[in-house]
Structure 1
Amino acid sequence: MHLIIPYAASHALVGAPVWDGLQLPNLQTLLNALQRQQAWHDPEPTPFQLPHERLEAQALGWSTETPLPWAAWHQAQQGQASTAPQAWMTPCHWQVGMDQVVMANPDHLHLSDDESQQLLQAMQPFLQEDGLQVTWHSALLWHAQGAMLADLTTASLDRVIGQNVKAWMPDSPAARPLQRLQSEMQMLLYNHPVNDAREARRQHTVNAFWLHGAGTLPATAPTAAPPTNGAVTVSHALRASALHGDLQTWQKAWQQLDATVLADLLQHLKTTGQGTLSLCSEHAAHTYTAKPAAWHQKITRLFNKPSPAAALQALITT
């Protein structure tokens, strides 16, 4: 059993009293029983994919040197496996400044299903002209498939939120049709009735989209995880509060995680003697496993038990 926790610590919460009152007894017990075997920190320049995404990809047996095809993976899990290149498309708002264009958090749009469907319907002729088959999945998640997406490396949505989009735009010959399509959609959406109504309500308009999770599913068995890791679970319970910088909600979500999935991992460890825990921030990942400790390591851990606060703080300071 391998549990991956994104946003276990977050740079968005640096400076706040993050650890005050945070009681995580099951995490404490796991840290006492497990050993940190691997520490990953983003190199320069920052990769397009987040650490927890690369960990999950490795657990699935994918190469992290190629685009990580999360959209195709999701479709395969729904029984709709395809060898065609696919991607997620998220409608969003770009805040245009004097010298940069920043992506607002799409969650803050509070885009309704009806608004989302109207916008997609208006965009469909242009998308189809570029050979993209786009189907509505949810208000902020549309599924795209087409040759344009082949060999296209896209940045994770969470990498771009609150950032200058220019630094994260694909920059290759394969990306030129996408760049043109972005410009066309900005012009199309400018006077769309949905945006007119949103402006009247003083809400952010939808003036762009972001492609992410692009790629083609590997030919190897897509549902197989390496036997050394067993079942891989990724908990996204901390994501929203971390991206919002909402410390109180983040702490409550952590305590709920401790009482549920971490309790399950601890029980699995007690029953089988096996278990892996990966704690991640936006730029680091530390993995703890149940490998046997040498005698001197046991003595060190006996007198220097790692605390949850220290383990989590290490994700954003080292």
Structure 2
Amino acid sequence: MLLLIPFAAPLSDAGRQALQSLQLPHLDALLSHWREAGRDAGDEASLSPPHERALARALGWSVSDGLIPWAAQDAAAAGLPADAAWGRLTPVHLLMGSDHIGLTDPQLLGLTEAESRELFDAAAELFTSEGFTLHWHGPLNWLVAHPLLEELPTAAPDRLIGHALHRDLPEQPRLLRRLLNEVQMLFFTHPLNATREMAGELPVNGLWLSGCGAAQPVTGTAPRVDERLRTPALNEDWDAWREAWAALDAEVIAPLAGGGEGDLVLCGERTALTLEAQPKRWWQRFAGPRAGRAAALLETL
């Protein structure tokens, strides 16, 4: 069994302070007899975050930055044509600056199915009139198909939530840029957003395109992904993040440290680190865990 933990380590100054005070006794114990089996090192400006790269590799996919076909996987699950190139459109609240772009966590929009479908119906004609196929797959997951999406690198939403991305994003085809700009104008005047703002909710002011490409065959086993660190990390709630890590350490890491089998992948903002169990040597049975070892390792991610 492969266990994957995204957002195990932050990079922000406040997040680093939270990490330094983190007490993870079971991960400390595990590290005394597990070994590093692989390290996918990158940087925080990559389009695909480490946890997405690790998940794709576990499925047996080839991985290119910004070209992991999550939308095609969703399309296959929905019984949609498998030979098309798909992308994922996420309704978002965009944070735009002169030299950067960011997103509010879409999960925090509280977008209902009815609201999402209303916006979907409003935007659909813009895309279908230009030869795109559109499919509503969930409140925050609209699927779009078009040949333009086959080799189109995009930034994962998780790269832009909670902080601005200060880098040149890949150039999108002119048709796509025009459509996404038209969607922004359409949503700006849509009555649903006026209703949301009157209720104290953020407006949906755009769509974010990601997860593009043609389907790849799944040749590996999907890992267990524990995402409890995601929301507090992306929203810089470091007290909640520490509490979530402590619970994860007690509930999930403890059984592994006690002799469980499998591999563990810890993912930060730059790096995904794979650990695998090793038989304890005789002297390790009497040696206690070294406190702080886990925090020191997490700082390398």
1:206 alignment partner AA: V
SS at match of 2:183: helix
Identity of aligned residues (%): 33
2:80 and 2:256 map into 1 onto residues whose CA distance is: 31
Query: Which structure's residues are more often helix, by fraction?
Result: 1
In structure 2, the residue matched to 1:158 is 158
What residue in structure 2 maps to residue 310 of structure 1? Answer: 293
Taking structure 1 as the reference length, the TM-score comes to 0.80
Instruction: Quote the offset at 1:24 in angstroms.
Output: 4.2
Partner of 1:63: 62
State the partner residue of 1:235.
226
Cα distance, 1:90 vs. partner?
0.8
**Corresponding residue for residue 197 of structure 1:** 195
Distance in 1 between the 2:174 and 2:23 partners? 48
Equivalent residue, structure 2, for 1:255:
246
In the TM superposition, residue 34 of structure 1 has moved relative to its aligned partner by: 0.6
Q: Is the 8 A contact 2:29 2:289 kept in 1?
A: no
TM-score normalized with structure 2 length: 0.85
**SS of alignment partner, residue 170 of structure 2:** coil
- Residue pairs, 1:1-318, within 5 angstroms: 1-12=1-12, 13-18=14-19, 20=21, 22-25=23-26, 27-43=27-43, 46-65=45-64, 67-77=67-77, 82-97=82-97, 99-164=99-164, 167=167, 169-171=169-171, 175-218=173-216, 220=217, 222=218, 224-225=219-220, 232-263=223-254, 265-266=256-257, 269-270=259-260, 274-291=261-278, 305=289, 307=291, 309-317=292-300
* Aligned-partner Cα distance in 2 for 1:263–1:77: 34
Q: Which amino acid aligns with 1:181?
A: L
How many Å separate the matches in 2 of 1:206 and 1:2? Answer: 36
Evaluate the alpha carbon distance shift between residue 252 and residue 88 of structure 1 in structure 2; reply closer, same or farther with a 3 A threshold. same
Supply the AA of the counterpart residue of 1:280.
C
- CA-atom RMSD in angstroms: 3.1
Q: Secondary structure at the match of 1:102?
A: strand
User: 2-side partners of 1:90 and 1:101: how far apart?
Assistant: 15
Cα 1:69–1:84 change in 2 (3 A) is: same
TM-superposed deviation, 1:280: 1.0
* Deviation (angstroms), 1:19: 5.1
Question: How many pairs were matched up?
Answer: 299
User: Structure 2 unaligned runs (5+)?
Assistant: none
Deviation at residue 289 of structure 1 after TM alignment: 1.4
CA distances 1:111-162 after superposition (whole Å, capped 9, x unpaired): 2332222111110100112322222233222222232322111111101224
Unaligned stretches of 5+ residues in structure 1: none
Mapped contact 1:286–1:315 kept (Cα < 8 A): no
Q: Residues 48 and 154 of structure 1 are in contact (CA less than 8 Å); yes or no, is this contact kept in structure 2?
A: yes
Q: For residues 61 and 16 of structure 2, what CA distance do their matches in structure 1 show?
A: 36
- Offset of 1:189 from its aligned partner? 1.4
Judged with a 3 Å threshold, the aligned counterparts in structure 2 of structure 1 residues 244 and 30 are, in CA distance, closer, same or farther, namely same
State the Cα distance separating 1:182 from its structure 2 match. 1.3
Give, in whole Å, the separation in 2 of the partners of 1:30 and 1:52: 21
Amino acid at match of 1:235: D
